[in-house]
Amino acid sequence: MKSKEILALLPYQEPFLFVDEILSVSADSIVGTYTYDKTLPFYQGHFKKKPVTPGVILTETMAQIGLVSLGIYLISSETESTVQNKEEIEIAFTSADVNFFLPVYPGEKVTVKSEKQYFRFNKLKCKVQLFNDQEELVCRGTLTGMMKK
């Protein structure tokens, strides 16, 4: 499955799509990027004088790239048939344990790197890291979700 196919199958749309590109994907890992547009609505109130990307949005970005995108790839590989549309995939984000180290400001590009811990009985668990453009670790954590075709 190609990166563009994965992006087309993501069950998100603007303004809640936090994946620009998938740089690499395999049965064990995925790497992708996203740039936070300065006009995203949450920046208006978080915070008044110096906008910062909320931690929940950083976690969602990690989940969309590091869990859901990888899950779509794994589901297609496991079933040996390409998923044709978003409605064929069932996804439930079940848990996140994330630590934050640096802020992300409007206009910044981030890179998400995820390593599969396991995928069995439709449950995917990944160790995920998010880096800023200076390759500094912004946050990292363990994410899990349920996915099936």
Positions marked active-site: 46
In which residue are the tokens 């390593």 written?
A: 115
CA distances from 3 to 42, 110, 121, 128 (A): 28, 17, 25, 18
**Backbone angles phi and psi of 134, in degrees to 5:** -90, 10
In which residue are the tokens 């976690």 written?
A: 59
Round to whole Å and give the CA distance between 102 and 82: 38
Task: Indicate the length of the chain as a whole number.
Answer: 149
Which residue type does 38 have? K
Q: Is the dihedral of CA 37, 38, 39, 45 positive or negative?
A: positive
